[in-house]
Amino acid sequence: MIRAPRSLQNRLLLLVLSGVALVWLVTSVLTWFDVRHELDELLDGHLAQAAALLVVQQAQAPQAQEMEEDDGQGLDAPTLHRYAPKVAFQVFHEDRLALRSANAPVAPMVEAGKNFTSGFRTVQIKGMTWRIFAAQGAKRDVQVYVGEQVSSRNSILWAVLRSTLWPVAVALPLLVLAVGWAVRLGVQPIRKLGRVLAERQPQALSPVAIDHLPDEMAPMIAALNSLFERIGLLLESERRFTADAAHELRTPIAAIRMQAQVAMGEADDALRNHALQGTLEGCDRATRLVEQLLSLSRLEAAESPVMATVDLRALAQRVVAEIAPKAIGKNQSLEFDASGLCIMPGNETLLAVLVRNLVDNAVRYSPPAARIRVAVQQHGGQLALSIEDSGPGLSEADRLRLGERFFRVTGSLESGSGLGWSIVRRIAAVHRLSIEVGRSTPLGGLAVRVVYEDSARR
């Protein structure tokens, strides 16, 4: 098994030279058949012309006929050329040999005799292959055979082919050198690009700029520069994310440390228990922040999640049931409204995170005794999840900033990481869901609506 070369230059060289060799071989074969055909036509024409001359000569030579009748023997023609032994002829008059070449037999060169009086035929004479042309005289009493050894035709054919193809064969090594030089020159820009990339520093994300590049490399350079740009944006986002995360983690850790110090120095059991309770709350806040950070990191790093058929009504009902104890603890009214199956494609785990974040936000940021309503509705090809509350709601400026990492509404007494909405929007983008945020008309607080459009059912 031939292993393809890994070098682009060697691969191009191999392909080009293989193509040239194949074309040369096919051309040689076609030339062989074409020259052989034309040569056969030419020499057959010469045989026919020679036969015609012999017929005319015999018709105009009565003395030769009389001599033949007197002695009963044919005349031998003289040999005038060194190739003459490869050509032979016979002339018969009234079925008797009147004239022949020195190398021609006495018997007719075609065994068919009278049954073959005109035309071409290839026969064997004394182990040699001959091309014979037969012709009759005007009075049909003269029969002429003119023949030529096929080996002489092959010799002429090889001579013609040698003179035609030999220069091409000699030029092949020069062609190999020329093609090798051209291919090496052609791949030089790729080598140059390789050197430029090898010399770049790992942190260098500036666009690659190389002068005098061929047009075929322009899309590759553009794609490479676009990749560098995306990597730069990703790294900048990661740096900002890391800095913000470190800043946000510093706050609960400092609070935990302060409460621990208070608990260590407090002699009063009630105050010490209060400090320890604050320590636990700080741990819970730090745990929630870490979980949110991990969820957002997994969402941004992962590729398209595995999708399946999800019943959004059942999923939302399950999430509401999980959060209900927290709402009851704040004396809130948590309502759920849905009817029938609400099927959509999606990742059940991610959709549960989206619903949990939205419902949890409504419970946490609504005051005690507030009313919270969760509904799943389907109209035609549109499936909508809505969460409304009777809380204070958000200003227009704050609504526009929802989704920014670590953004939290000022004045809120609830602890949070500011990452919930970032996660919600990321999950919505993965599932191609649209999110509408406004003010609830019936309840007066915040209203969030997540919509899925089924284009196949519209």
pLDDT score of 419 = 65
pLDDT score of 11 = 76
Check if the beta carbon of residue 371 is closer than 8 Å to that of residue 335: yes
Q: Is residue 182 part of a domain?
A: no
Q: Is residue 111 part of a domain?
A: yes
pLDDT score of 413 = 45
pLDDT score of 70 = 45
Q: Which of 279, 302, 325 is the last residue of a domain?
A: 302
pLDDT score of 52 = 74
* Whether 293 and 316 share a structural domain: no
Counted domains in the chain = 3
Q: Is residue 192 part of a domain?
A: no
Token pair recorded at residue 413: 């007494």
* Whether 70 and 133 share a structural domain: yes
pLDDT score of 417 = 47
Q: Which of 260, 284, 302 is the last residue of a domain?
A: 302
Q: Is residue 458 part of a domain?
A: no
* Whether 237 and 382 share a structural domain: no
Q: Is residue 337 part of a domain?
A: yes
* Whether 315 and 276 share a structural domain: no
pLDDT score of 71 = 44
Which portions of the chain are predicted below pLDDT 50?
Answer: 1-2, 63-75, 80, 406, 410-413, 416-417
Cβ-count burial 335-348 (b if 16+ within 10 Å, e if not): ebebeeebebebbb
* Whether 238 and 325 share a structural domain: no
pLDDT score of 54 = 73
DSSP tag of 158: H
| 3-class secondary structure, 159 | helix
| 3-class secondary structure, 227 | helix
CATH of residue 337: 3.30.565.10
**Beta partners for residue 187, in sequence order:** none
* Whether 152 and 73 share a structural domain: yes
* Whether 316 and 256 share a structural domain: no
Q: Which of 149, 167, 185 is the last residue of a domain?
A: 167
Which residues form the domain of 88? 8-167
CATH of residue 151: 3.30.450
* Whether 127 and 210 share a structural domain: no
The pTM for the full model equals 0.44
* Whether 312 and 446 share a structural domain: yes
pLDDT score of 198 = 80
pLDDT score of 125 = 82
Q: Is residue 275 part of a domain?
A: yes
Q: Is residue 206 part of a domain?
A: yes
Cβ-count burial 252-291 (b if 16+ within 10 Å, e if not): beebbeebeebbeeeeeeeeeeebeebbeebeebbebbee
CATH of residue 236: 1.10.287.130
> In which element (H, E) is residue 190 found?
helix 188-199
